[in-house]
Amino acid sequence: MDFNQGKEENEGTVSVDEGLKVYENNCLSCQGAEGAGGHNGSNLQGIGMDREQIIEQVKNRSGGMPGFEGTLTEEEIEAVTEYLLSLEEEGG
C-alpha cells in the first residue's frame, strides 16, 4: 500500500525522525531504547513484519501492548512505522 499515492512529492510524507519522536513518547517505556526490548515489551529489532503488519499491530492491541488507534493520528502511526522499519533495515 502506497500512503503517498496521489499526493504531491513531499506532501503528507513522514520521516524516521518524526517516528522516533512518536516512539519515544509512546513506546520507549515498554519497548526499550531503539526497540531492543525490556520493560515488559518485546524486542522490535528485526521483527520481520511488513508495513501493513506493523500498522495493524500499532492500531490494535496484542498481548500486553495497548492499541493506539484513536490515540495516535494516522500520520503518527505512519511515522512510528517508518521508524520501526528503519530498525529492521539497520539490523537493530
Q: Which domains does the chain have, with CATH numbers?
A: 16-90 (1.10.760.10)
Residue by residue, pLDDT tens for the chain (92 residues) are 444 444 334 446 789 999 999 999 999 999 999 899 877 888 888 888 999 999 999 999 877 889 999 999 999 999 999 999 999 876 54
Q: Rounded CA gap, 87 and 34, in Å? A: 7
Instruction: Give the CA dihedral 17, 18, 22, 27, nearest 10 degrees.
Output: -30
